[in-house]
Chain A
Amino acid sequence: MPSLIDIRRRIRSVKSTQQITRAMKMVASARLRRAQDRVVNARPYSRMTRELLGDVVAAAGPEFVEKLPLLAVRPEKRVQLVLITADRGLAGAFNSNLIKAAQQFLEERSGREAMLELVGRKGRDFFVKRPVRISGETTGISQSAGQREAEQLGRKLIERFTSGEADSVYLLYNEFKSVLSQRVTVRKILPVEMPAAGAAREYIFEQPPMHMLEKLLPEYIVLLVLEAFLESAAAEQAARMTAMDAATTNAGEVIHKLTLFMNRVRQASITREIIEVVSGASALE
């Protein structure tokens, strides 16, 4: 039977853990709001860019568009996977789901050459120790990644695709579906799958449409990378918030159980003492 003092000590320790998880939950929910704003703010540009791309494709004529190098579908011998994880843990299954999905992705393509580009410390720490080919890593940006970071990574990926180092490029990240759910998403970004061609309106083109496409497509890739960054940042905070909320509730339950147990132990010792006193007194009679 543990002593009263031991149980009190445990209760105190669980309480301080609970304070930490509660604070982390608050921080995560504040950050989530900011990350969510960034996702929402980026949407108009994404939508307009897709529409613009559709318009330009319609004007350029789909039969010419197919010849662009960024659309070249080659047999998939070398695959590039970009894994976007968080820099920090304590976010429930956020990182482990991604890592599992990445391993599965690599397994499915075990006959082919695969390269991993790692964004986020958690994914890096996991794969660095394993026998996979790593083409590059970026850490410390999971919450701050913006246009600049997306451009850097996007250009690198385009370069690998056009030079033939990779025949296709996939992004693997957590999509922010709602505060309560994140979905692991695999998205093929290269070769580019074109959004539906818009209605061919009679535009005056300052630059020939094909020329515009050659500039627009790399920017579209960068946009897809940026979207993934922003989604992942929001999803991370949402996952952490939910995880820490659950942890706080669980800690509350443990405290409740320990308190009941403590009371029982105290009651038992009191009862024992009374029995001792009573039996001592009756022995004297």
Chain B
Amino acid sequence: MAGLLRLEVATPERMLLKENVREAQVPAANGYLGILPEHAPLLAELGTGVLVYELENGQKKWMSVIGGYVEVGPDRIRVLANRAESADEIDVERAQAALRRAEERILNPAPGIDVARALNAAERARVRLEAAQHR
């Protein structure tokens, strides 16, 4: 039988997840990485994106991840995220408000507004909303 991977997700403030998974899709800085058991050791930076993993029973779970690092060993994935939330704890209203605010700033940049920052904020909000769709 195909082995399982130990997926650990930690943020500076708490340990978010410790779970055995069949596979995981990790939002690395240069694009998504699909990881199966027996993967070669790998270290990568994370971008802003959705982490999807499949549990032992075939159930899929989503989680938003913002920045950090991932370390892959033959039987484990360690995600050290700057921020991460599982799909069911994301505050959808807040993310929507953040998205609207950021888009507003991008479209009508008032003086003193950092557009790059607004773009990042919009990206973060979008990722949260995307993950939250899969509760």
A interface residues with partner B (beta carbon < 8 Å)? 38, 41-42, 44-45, 48-49, 52, 55-56, 59, 146-147, 150, 201-207, 209, 212, 215-216, 219, 222-223, 226
Contacts and interface: CB of A to CB of B under 8 A. Distances in A.
Nearest to B79: A48
B43 A212 contact: yes
A196 B78 CA distance: 20
B92 interface: no
A263 to B, nearest CB: 56
Interface of B: 8, 10-15, 28-30, 33, 40-45, 69, 71, 78, 80, 82-83
Given A45-B80, A206-B30, A147 B13 contact: yes
Q: Interface majority SS on A: helix, strand, loop or mixed?
A: helix
Contacts of A202: 41
Given A45-B80, A52-B71, A52-B80, A205 B43 contact: yes
Given A48-B10, A206-B30, A56 B43 contact: yes
A55 B71 contact: yes
Contacts of B69: 52, 212, 216
Given A41-B14, A45-B11, A49-B80, A206 B28 contact: yes
Closest 6 interchain pairs by CB?
A: A206-B44, A41-B14, A45-B10, A204-B42, A44-B15, A203-B41
Contact of A41 (B15, B41, B78): B15
A33 B3 CA distance: 39
A203 B30 CA distance: 17
Nearest to B31: A206
Nearest to B39: A204
Contacts of A226: 12
A206 B14 contact: no
Nearest to B33: A206
B78 A48 contact: yes
Contact of B42 (A52, A203, A209): A203
A45 B12 CA distance: 6
Contact of B12 (A42, A52, A201): A42
